[in-house]
Amino acid sequence: MEEALEKALAGEGYFAFPGVLLLRGPDALSFLQGQCTRDLRRLSGPMGALFLNHRGQIEEAATVFPHPEGYLLAPWGTLEGLRARLRRYIVFDQVELLDLPLYRRLYADGREEVAEERGEAYPQDLYPLFSLLKGFYLLSDIQGELPQSVGLLPLVDYGKGCYVGQEIMARLEGKEVHHRPAGLVGLPPYPEGEGPWPLFWEGREVGQAKRVRATPYGALGFGVVRREVPLGAVLEGDGGRFQVEAWPFEEAIWSGRRSSG
């Protein structure tokens, strides 16, 4: 596992996630345009997209691929969750959702593709650790957050027309939100878990630790904190202490800083 992690961190190889949705039908473009944050008229290759609720918070996320019959959607979370989110909004739309036995291949260098086979992918249980070190998001990291609060504003195309959550995005255009993403470096004692845990600074709650893991480079985590919290600040939460760092982590946080524990 350690050898695989080192190769992945060097940008070699890929991860494979099973299950892809095919959205097809006469209304496929108009329906999906009304659901996600991206302008699909610009779609020529893989494109990350967010699916918001009416308050502008992230419900689901997926990579969208062009397809001769419509669109392929590879979820960042579960196939069931993305399918349920889309079906909830199908009323009179002439669209069809089909589960396909395909794989989303996510390369360690950030490229994505859809494949029929898993191939020589890394073990899937390595991905949470890899994603934490390299700044790739799990759906659980960002669910319930505004795109701006987790650094995903590049996945919002302004001016594309109406979609679920678009009104909130329009109101916030050009404005700073209260929170931002943060890397967390654990200080002894080291808590570990999926979170979220509240984080406190100078006696007040300033954010959440979304997940913290014991890694070969010490306890590291991802969180969302208020903008006034400076880099280097020490926060407390769930019995642990965390130093705030930039997100994604700078390579110096994990490269060559192997824990002796």
CATH number of 211's domain: 2.40.30.110
Residue ending a domain, among 148, 172, 196, is 172
Residue 80, in any domain of the structure: yes
Indicate whether 8 pLDDT > 50: yes
Q: Could you give the number of structural domains in the chain?
A: 2
pLDDT reported for residue 9: 94
- Residues 70 and 164 reside in one and the same domain: yes
Residue 258, in any domain of the structure: no
Residues 6+ apart with CB under 8 A from 172: 56, 146, 148
pLDDT in tens, 135-161: 999 999 999 999 999 999 999 999 888
Q: Is the pTM of this model over 0.85?
A: yes
- Residues 149 and 190 reside in one and the same domain: no
- Residues 162 and 187 reside in one and the same domain: no
pLDDT reported for residue 252: 87
- Residues 86 and 152 reside in one and the same domain: yes
Q: Checking DSSP bridges between strand 218-226 and strand 234-237, what pairing results, if any? A: unpaired
Q: How far apart are CA 207 and CA 186, in angstroms?
A: 15
Mean pLDDT confidence for 208-217:
91
pLDDT reported for residue 117: 97
Q: Are 50 and 145 in contact (CB under 8 A)?
A: no
- Residues 32 and 125 reside in one and the same domain: yes
Q: How far apart are CA 259 and CA 143, in angstroms?
A: 31
Residue 260, in any domain of the structure: no
Q: How far apart are CA 37 and CA 238, in angstroms?
A: 34
- Residues 157 and 53 reside in one and the same domain: yes
Residue 206, in any domain of the structure: yes
pLDDT reported for residue 81: 97
Domain span including residue 125: 2-172
- Residues 160 and 119 reside in one and the same domain: yes
Indicate whether 240 pLDDT > 80: yes
Distances (CA, A) of 258 to 2, 136, 163: 11, 21, 45
- Residues 68 and 129 reside in one and the same domain: yes
Phi-psi region for residue 142, left (φ > 0), alpha (ψ -120 to 50) or beta? alpha
Q: pLDDT band for position 162 (50/70/90)?
A: very high
Min mean pLDDT across 37-46, 108-117, 183-192 is at 183-192
Indicate whether 1 pLDDT > 70: no
Indicate whether 181 pLDDT > 80: yes
Residue ending a domain, among 172, 190, 218, is 172
Residue 49, in any domain of the structure: yes
Q: Which among 108, 105, 106, 104 has a CA at the least distance from the CA of 6?
A: 108
pLDDT reported for residue 256: 62
- Residues 27 and 108 reside in one and the same domain: yes
Q: How far apart are CA 210 and CA 141, in angstroms?
A: 6
Residue 222, in any domain of the structure: yes
Q: How far apart are CA 72 and CA 55, in angstroms?
A: 26
